[in-house]
Amino acid sequence: MTSRPSIAFLALALALLTGCASRSERKALRTCSFVPRGTTRLGGSEDSLRLSIAVEIHNPGPSAAVLDSFAATVSSVMPLGVLSHGGTSRILPGATDTVAIHLSMESANLMTTAAGLVLSPPDSLSVEGTAWIPGWFGTKAHSLKARIPYSSVAGGLKRALGGGFGLQ
Protein backbone atom coordinates (compact mmCIF):
# COMPACT_ATOMS: atom_id res chain seq x y z
CA MET A 1 0.00 0.00 0.00
CA THR A 2 1.35 3.42 -0.97
CA SER A 3 0.92 6.34 1.36
CA ARG A 4 -0.48 9.68 0.18
CA PRO A 5 2.76 11.63 0.85
CA SER A 6 4.74 9.28 -1.41
CA ILE A 7 2.12 9.63 -4.20
CA ALA A 8 2.34 13.42 -3.91
CA PHE A 9 6.14 13.23 -3.99
CA LEU A 10 6.04 10.96 -7.04
CA ALA A 11 3.65 13.35 -8.85
CA LEU A 12 5.89 16.33 -8.03
CA ALA A 13 9.04 14.48 -9.14
CA LEU A 14 7.36 13.43 -12.40
CA ALA A 15 6.24 17.01 -13.07
CA LEU A 16 9.77 18.33 -12.49
CA LEU A 17 11.43 15.63 -14.56
CA THR A 18 9.08 16.01 -17.52
CA GLY A 19 9.47 19.77 -17.60
CA CYS A 20 5.81 20.40 -16.88
CA ALA A 21 4.93 23.98 -16.28
CA SER A 22 1.56 25.49 -15.68
CA ARG A 23 -0.29 27.40 -18.34
CA SER A 24 0.08 30.52 -16.19
CA GLU A 25 3.90 30.13 -16.27
CA ARG A 26 3.78 30.04 -20.06
CA LYS A 27 1.46 33.05 -20.17
CA ALA A 28 3.79 34.87 -17.73
CA LEU A 29 6.29 35.09 -20.61
CA ARG A 30 4.06 37.83 -22.08
CA THR A 31 5.00 40.21 -19.26
CA CYS A 32 8.74 39.65 -19.70
CA SER A 33 11.08 42.04 -21.47
CA PHE A 34 13.43 40.75 -24.18
CA VAL A 35 16.73 42.47 -25.03
CA PRO A 36 19.20 41.14 -27.64
CA ARG A 37 22.67 41.08 -26.04
CA GLY A 38 24.91 39.62 -28.72
CA THR A 39 25.05 37.81 -32.01
CA THR A 40 27.25 34.94 -33.15
CA ARG A 41 27.33 33.69 -36.71
CA LEU A 42 26.76 29.96 -36.87
CA GLY A 43 27.98 27.72 -39.65
CA GLY A 44 25.91 28.46 -42.71
CA SER A 45 26.28 28.05 -46.42
CA GLU A 46 26.25 30.21 -49.51
CA ASP A 47 22.47 29.83 -49.51
CA SER A 48 21.73 30.73 -45.90
CA LEU A 49 22.76 32.89 -43.00
CA ARG A 50 22.49 31.35 -39.52
CA LEU A 51 22.86 33.43 -36.38
CA SER A 52 22.64 32.70 -32.69
CA ILE A 53 21.24 35.68 -30.81
CA ALA A 54 21.74 35.91 -27.05
CA VAL A 55 18.45 37.28 -25.74
CA GLU A 56 18.21 38.54 -22.17
CA ILE A 57 14.78 37.85 -20.68
CA HIS A 58 13.73 39.74 -17.55
CA ASN A 59 10.73 38.40 -15.62
CA PRO A 60 9.17 41.19 -13.51
CA GLY A 61 6.22 39.04 -12.47
CA PRO A 62 5.36 37.22 -9.27
CA SER A 63 5.64 33.73 -10.80
CA ALA A 64 8.12 31.86 -12.96
CA ALA A 65 7.93 32.27 -16.74
CA VAL A 66 8.63 29.42 -19.14
CA LEU A 67 9.97 29.58 -22.70
CA ASP A 68 9.46 26.27 -24.47
CA SER A 69 11.26 24.84 -27.47
CA PHE A 70 9.87 26.38 -30.68
CA ALA A 71 10.41 27.01 -34.38
CA ALA A 72 8.55 29.84 -36.11
CA THR A 73 8.59 31.79 -39.35
CA VAL A 74 8.92 35.55 -38.96
CA SER A 75 7.17 37.60 -41.65
CA SER A 76 6.31 41.15 -42.55
CA VAL A 77 4.93 41.25 -46.10
CA MET A 78 7.08 38.23 -46.97
CA PRO A 79 8.87 35.64 -44.82
CA LEU A 80 12.04 37.05 -43.25
CA GLY A 81 13.50 33.97 -41.60
CA VAL A 82 13.01 31.20 -39.07
CA LEU A 83 13.49 31.69 -35.32
CA SER A 84 14.07 28.68 -33.10
CA HIS A 85 14.87 27.80 -29.50
CA GLY A 86 15.83 24.24 -28.69
CA GLY A 87 15.00 23.74 -25.03
CA THR A 88 12.78 24.71 -22.15
CA SER A 89 13.97 27.70 -20.13
CA ARG A 90 12.48 28.77 -16.80
CA ILE A 91 12.95 32.38 -15.70
CA LEU A 92 12.32 32.80 -11.99
CA PRO A 93 10.21 35.67 -10.60
CA GLY A 94 12.20 38.91 -10.55
CA ALA A 95 15.14 37.25 -12.31
CA THR A 96 16.94 37.82 -15.59
CA ASP A 97 18.26 34.97 -17.75
CA THR A 98 19.85 34.78 -21.18
CA VAL A 99 18.76 32.25 -23.80
CA ALA A 100 20.05 31.49 -27.30
CA ILE A 101 17.57 32.10 -30.11
CA HIS A 102 18.61 30.97 -33.58
CA LEU A 103 17.77 32.92 -36.71
CA SER A 104 18.06 31.37 -40.17
CA MET A 105 17.65 33.46 -43.31
CA GLU A 106 18.14 32.73 -46.99
CA SER A 107 21.18 34.65 -48.22
CA ALA A 108 19.56 35.34 -51.59
CA ASN A 109 16.78 37.31 -49.87
CA LEU A 110 18.97 39.12 -47.35
CA MET A 111 19.59 42.32 -49.33
CA THR A 112 15.99 42.46 -50.59
CA THR A 113 14.68 41.97 -47.06
CA ALA A 114 16.99 44.62 -45.58
CA ALA A 115 16.09 47.11 -48.33
CA GLY A 116 12.38 46.46 -47.79
CA LEU A 117 12.71 47.05 -44.04
CA VAL A 118 14.58 50.32 -44.65
CA LEU A 119 12.25 51.70 -47.33
CA SER A 120 8.99 50.57 -45.78
CA PRO A 121 9.37 49.43 -42.15
CA PRO A 122 6.36 47.38 -41.06
CA ASP A 123 4.27 48.22 -38.00
CA SER A 124 4.74 44.68 -36.71
CA LEU A 125 6.18 41.29 -37.50
CA SER A 126 4.13 38.11 -37.58
CA VAL A 127 5.53 35.03 -35.84
CA GLU A 128 3.87 31.70 -36.67
CA GLY A 129 5.09 28.21 -35.95
CA THR A 130 5.11 25.42 -33.43
CA ALA A 131 6.03 25.21 -29.75
CA TRP A 132 6.83 21.82 -28.26
CA ILE A 133 5.50 21.58 -24.73
CA PRO A 134 6.64 18.75 -22.45
CA GLY A 135 3.94 17.01 -20.50
CA TRP A 136 3.17 13.93 -18.47
CA PHE A 137 3.16 11.59 -21.47
CA GLY A 138 5.73 13.17 -23.78
CA THR A 139 6.04 16.35 -25.77
CA LYS A 140 3.11 17.79 -27.72
CA ALA A 141 3.20 20.27 -30.58
CA HIS A 142 1.13 23.43 -30.13
CA SER A 143 0.44 26.20 -32.60
CA LEU A 144 2.32 29.44 -31.96
CA LYS A 145 1.09 32.81 -33.26
CA ALA A 146 2.17 36.28 -32.20
CA ARG A 147 2.61 39.81 -33.49
CA ILE A 148 5.66 41.76 -32.40
CA PRO A 149 5.87 45.55 -32.77
CA TYR A 150 8.67 46.19 -35.28
CA SER A 151 9.97 49.11 -33.21
CA SER A 152 10.77 46.70 -30.36
CA VAL A 153 13.10 44.56 -32.51
CA ALA A 154 14.45 47.01 -35.11
CA GLY A 155 17.63 47.82 -33.14
CA GLY A 156 18.39 44.16 -32.42
CA LEU A 157 17.70 43.19 -36.03
CA LYS A 158 20.05 45.92 -37.21
CA ARG A 159 22.81 44.61 -34.94
CA ALA A 160 22.10 40.99 -35.92
CA LEU A 161 22.40 41.79 -39.62
CA GLY A 162 25.64 43.68 -39.13
CA GLY A 163 24.34 47.23 -38.86
CA GLY A 164 25.26 48.06 -42.43
CA PHE A 165 21.75 48.17 -43.84
CA GLY A 166 20.48 51.39 -42.28
CA LEU A 167 17.61 49.62 -40.47
CA GLN A 168 15.77 51.92 -38.12
pLDDT in 10s for each residue of the chain, 168 residues = 444 455 544 444 444 444 455 778 888 888 998 888 888 888 767 778 888 888 899 999 999 999 999 999 988 878 888 999 988 899 999 999 999 999 888 877 777 777 777 788 888 889 999 998 887 777 888 898 888 888 877 776 666 555 544 444
In a domain, 11, yes or no: no
- Please report the pLDDT score of residue 39 as a whole number: 82
Q: Identify whether 8 is part of a domain.
A: no
**Residue 124 in domain:** yes
Q: What pLDDT is recorded for position 2?
A: 46
87 occurs within a structural domain: yes
The total of structural domains in the chain comes to: 1
Q: What is the CATH number of the domain that holds 41?
A: 2.60.40
Give whole-number Cα distances, 57 to 52, 105, 141, 155, 163, in Å: 15, 23, 23, 16, 23
Q: What is the pLDDT of residue 159?
A: 65
Domain assignment present for 166: no
* pLDDT for position 71: 94
In a domain, 57, yes or no: yes
Q: State which residues form the domain around 85.
A: 22-160
Assess if residue 10 is contained within a domain. Answer: no
